[in-house]
Structure 1
Amino acid sequence: MRFSDYIVFVDESGDHGMDSIDDGYPLFVLSCCLISKRDYMTTVVPAMQQLKFSTFGHDAVILHEREIRKDTGPFAILRDRTKKHAFIQALTDVLERTPMTVFSAVIDKRQLVEHRRRNESPYELSLRFCLERIFYSLRRLGQSNDDEGPLLTHVLCESRGRNEDADLELAFRRICGGDNFAHVHLPFEPVLTDKKNNSIGLQLADLVARPIGLKQLRPDQPNRAWDVIETKLDRDATGRYRGYGLKCFP
């Protein structure tokens, strides 16, 4: 098995469980960032490390959207509004320059209940859509097969605990095994890793997820991150991203 020239990073926003629904944020959002390995090594990682060094003096800080938003943990230094504005602007600039394609699914859990689909997993629904769309994108890039057979693309997901990881891997392999729209084999391999490993790609996926959800929840609210993310969404030949880089369901 040979490897493709691309890698995928996955993160989420919101609770994927259906036992309770937060009225303030009733969504589950899955975000996937498709990046060429060459760009990741030469452009993405150095740019993010430079931002960390200039802000914190070292690169051990893990960028986490919630902590940035609430100025907690290592981001407590951003309680100074001038520093916070400068950091957000620098981070937005890095995102804007990042050569990646974004695939995302937004599940409104209230609608699942109304459609009597409470037993369906928002995570699995989201993952199925994103993997299908990433597969088609890789095929357009000539990354689905070569003379020796399918090219394997690794998909990095945040580890969330033994039971949840087992459920995720089972769903992942079921989808790749043919439980998808085209009923084809998807040449992806899941890699579950702790966010503490400081993967720049996982941090990017984390930063992308919530702004996508907020745009769907409160479309008229100013959202600078979304303005950048929107330009990264996968699109069809006419430029549409709905149903391609972004799926809102149901």
Structure 2
Amino acid sequence: MNGTQESIKSIVDNLNAADLDKNVEVVVAPPFPYLLWVKEHLKASNVSISGQNAADRDNGAFTGEVSIAQLKDVGASWVILGHSERRTIIKETDELIATKTKYAIDNGLPVILCIGETFDEKNAGKTISVVQKQLDAVIAKLSKEDWSKVVIAYEPVWAIGTGLAATPEDAQAVHEEIRKYLAEKVGSDIANATRIIYGGSVNGKNAGSLSGKADIDGFLVGGACLKPEFADIVNSNKA
């Protein structure tokens, strides 16, 4: 929930001027009021737009919600679901997020599915059990074919906006466990094909070391996406 017309224009101008790696798929998720403007002004062919959230139902009498149909109507190619702020602040449950995920896929919009543990859960040694529980709700609703429309974003809640970040080794260890769990529950072919991206104080300095890990397939970028260094994160694979 950041941005004004002026600041959004500045971000888009920076992206348009940057020499972005054409081998990287870039997705930006501005607040809802700016989605169409961003879509119309982005120039790079490998940059698309996403909603930050969506409802689990079609257009109707649900004041304050945004539908999948509306996101598609303004040109969105993705929707982010289950972001930690939706889980911890808005209190969305694993079940609701799973329902939203299935609804979005059934209605033609791929999903960036966020999972991750809080600081207390990490300290209690529950990281893996928490992300498995969050995945279980989605696994129960999706068909094997649906998984081609899902990118999993592991975002440790304790690392969001705190300046703290998992070490590349720790992040890789969790990503590896997520992929192993997918292989066990839905099949190794799906596990190997599913992109698992990392989110948690990613910046221009740590993106290169993180992207070098075998099971880290990209990033869900928070505060750094508001700065010119976002282009450095996009281009981190070049290093």
TM-score in same-fold range (> 0.5): no
Q: Highest CA radius of gyration, 1 or 2?
A: 1
Structure that is richer in strand per residue: 1
